[in-house]
Structure 1
Amino acid sequence: MIFARREAWTGRVLLVLLMAVTLMPFVSLFVTALHPSGTYPLGLDWPSDPQWGNFADAFTAARMGELLKSSALIVLGVVPISLVVATMAGFAIGHLRMAGRQIAFLAFVLGLTLPFEGIITPLYYLVRDMGILNTRWAIILPLVGLFMPFSVFWMRAHFVNMPEELSESARMDGANVWQLFWKVHVPLAVPATSSLAILLFLWTWNQFLLAIVLVDDPLNRTMSGALGAFQGQWGTNIPLLCAGSLLILGPTLVIFLIFQRRFVTALLQGSLKG
């Protein structure tokens, strides 16, 4: 009994320490952002006169309104396309038991091993030859392809656990393959698809590398990609740079706080299903 209590308290202390280490960079950014513009704050020194206007100045200087629009358009391009294609592919590989499914699944698994950094050079020339360089499509289309291995793997893990009796019953009622997919299995896959949508949103919104390599105009990038241009312009103004960084992180934090239960469920679901 004493050992169990000691173990429980040790776990709580470790969680508190881990939370403190995780939150410290955000607290430091917030405190620094409140210092007068042009100063060089040290550590977590709270300013005597907090400059809340730095956030408004950073919003205007970075043209956050246009960046929000650009990021939203990119997310609206990546997430729905990825969900539709991955759901259909996951259904075909995981539930229909199509011919060559093992080879197709192995190809997607191998795709999980490809790092973005390793394919960025050939991807640049491919996007240039397609004539979409420096447009939002230069971010949307590559992200759809790069997210597809994980997305198909995720959806396949859901469909492979669906009981075959459910499909057989629907076929006996006269359902064809499309009706079986759309009217029977898609409604049952809402937890899996919604969890995947949250993950794809977070990854797309925080995409940095492709945005700065494939798009020159910061206003056509994601908000994270535009941070590089903002840093180059205001790199010597530390408080304003910190305020801009927090504003860029804001939408991601809001989405995470709203859907945190779904996010945790997504991680557990992806780790337990096979």
Structure 2
Amino acid sequence: MIRSTRELYAGRALLVIVMAVTIVPFLSIFTTALHPSGSVPAPLEWPAQPHWGNFVEAFEAANLGALLGSSTFIAVAVVPASVILSTMAGFAIGVLRFPGSRWLFMLFVFGLTLPFTGIVVPLYYLERDMGILNTRFAIVLPLVALYMPFGIFWMRAHFVNMPDALDEAARIDGAGPWNLFRLVHVPLARPAIASLAVVLSVWTWNQFLIALVLVEEPSRRTMAGALGAFQGQYVWDIPLLAAGTILIILPSLIVFVLFQRHIIAALLEGGFKG
């Protein structure tokens, strides 16, 4: 009993520490953004007179209106394609288990080790030869490909834990691979699919390096991709830079908060089956 009580309090203390480490930097950036433009405030110092206009000024200075539309276009193009391809490939590898599927899965797992920084230069020359450099598709196509290893790993982990009796019953009723996928497995995989879509949406919205290197026109980048130019122009204006940072991360934060149930449901589903 004493040990259980100690473990309970230790767990709660760990959660408080993790929450503080996560929230305190965000609060520090938020309070900094409310100070007068050009000042150098102390961390977590609430200003005597908050300057809410810094957010408006940062929005206009970084042309975030155009970037909001550009980021939305890129996310809408990347996320559905990545989720559909990952779901179909994960089903094929985890359920159909065709000859060579194990080696193919290991190849995708190897893709998880490839860093963006290691392939961005070859991507630059490849897209230059293809003629799509400095377009939004220069961001969309690499992201769809780079998300495949994680997406397939995520969806395969769901499909491989489905009971074999489910497939056997469907095949006895005459269901082929397509009907087995569309009518049986996809409805059961909704939590995993939704959580994958949320994760990829946040990753796409916060994509910085690829957008910065492959697209020269700032209005065609993602919101995070514009942070480099914004930082270079207003590097000495810390409150304005903090306000721009808040505006850039706010949409992805809202998406995560709204759809956190799907992520938790997918993680619990995997925990109970694993």
Aligned to 1:78: 78
For 1:62-73, what aligned pairs fall within 5 Å after superposition?
Answer: 62-73=62-73
The separation in 1 between residues aligned to 2:166 and 2:3, in whole angstroms, is 48
Which deviates more, 175-184 or 134-143? Answer: 175-184
The separation in 2 between residues aligned to 1:85 and 1:32, in whole angstroms, is 42
Which deviates more, 125-134 or 5-14? Answer: 5-14
Aligned to 2:223: 223
1:164 aligns with 2:186: no
Cα distance change, pair 211–75 in 1 and its aligned pair in 2 (3 A):
same
The AA in structure 2 aligned to 1:101 is S
The AA in structure 1 aligned to 2:139 is I
Deviating 4+ runs (over 4 angstroms)? 267-274
Deviation at 1:273, TM superposition (A): 6.1
Aligned to 1:183: 183
Aligned to 2:15: 15
For 1:31-180, what aligned pairs fall within 5 Å after superposition?
Answer: 31-180=31-180
Q: Once the two structures are superposed, what CA deviation does each residue of 1:52-83 show, in whole Å capped at 9, x if it has no partner?
A: 11111111222222111111111111111111
Deviation at 1:18, TM superposition (A): 2.5
Cα distance change, pair 128–101 in 1 and its aligned pair in 2 (3 A):
same
Which deviates more, 148-157 or 165-174? Answer: 165-174
Cα distance change, pair 92–29 in 1 and its aligned pair in 2 (3 A):
same
- Asked if the contact 1:196/1:266 (under 8 Å) is kept, the reply is no
The separation in 1 between residues aligned to 2:270 and 2:211, in whole angstroms, is 28
SS of 2:124 mapped into structure 1: helix
Cα distance change, pair 18–103 in 1 and its aligned pair in 2 (3 A):
closer
SS of 1:50 mapped into structure 2: coil
Aligned to 1:197: 197
Deviation at 1:110, TM superposition (A): 1.0
Q: Once the two structures are superposed, what CA deviation does each residue of 1:166-213 show, in whole Å capped at 9, x if it has no partner?
A: 233333333332222212221121111111111111111111111111
The AA in structure 2 aligned to 1:217 is E
Cα distance change, pair 224–267 in 1 and its aligned pair in 2 (3 A):
farther
SS of 2:219 mapped into structure 1: helix
Deviation at 1:134, TM superposition (A): 0.8
- Asked if the contact 2:39/2:238 (under 8 Å) is kept, the reply is yes
The AA in structure 2 aligned to 1:209 is L
Cα distance change, pair 41–199 in 1 and its aligned pair in 2 (3 A):
same
The separation in 2 between residues aligned to 1:191 and 1:124, in whole angstroms, is 36
- Asked if the contact 2:90/2:155 (under 8 Å) is kept, the reply is yes
Deviation at 1:42, TM superposition (A): 2.3
- Asked if the contact 1:154/1:270 (under 8 Å) is kept, the reply is no
> Root-mean-square deviation (CA), in Å?
1.8
SS of 2:41 mapped into structure 1: coil
TM-score of the pair, normalised by structure 1? 0.93
TM-score of the pair, normalised by structure 2? 0.93
Aligned to 1:238: 238
Aligned to 1:27: 27
SS of 1:95 mapped into structure 2: helix
The AA in structure 2 aligned to 1:260 is Q
The AA in structure 1 aligned to 2:83 is L
The AA in structure 2 aligned to 1:64 is L
- Asked if the contact 1:157/1:273 (under 8 Å) is kept, the reply is no
Deviation at 1:272, TM superposition (A): 7.1
Identity across matched positions, percent: 62
The AA in structure 2 aligned to 1:50 is P
The AA in structure 1 aligned to 2:94 is G
The separation in 1 between residues aligned to 2:67 and 2:142, in whole angstroms, is 20
Cα distance change, pair 273–152 in 1 and its aligned pair in 2 (3 A):
farther
The separation in 2 between residues aligned to 1:153 and 1:3, in whole angstroms, is 38
- Asked if the contact 1:158/1:273 (under 8 Å) is kept, the reply is no
Deviation at 1:232, TM superposition (A): 1.4
The separation in 2 between residues aligned to 1:108 and 1:9, in whole angstroms, is 41
Deviation at 1:263, TM superposition (A): 2.4
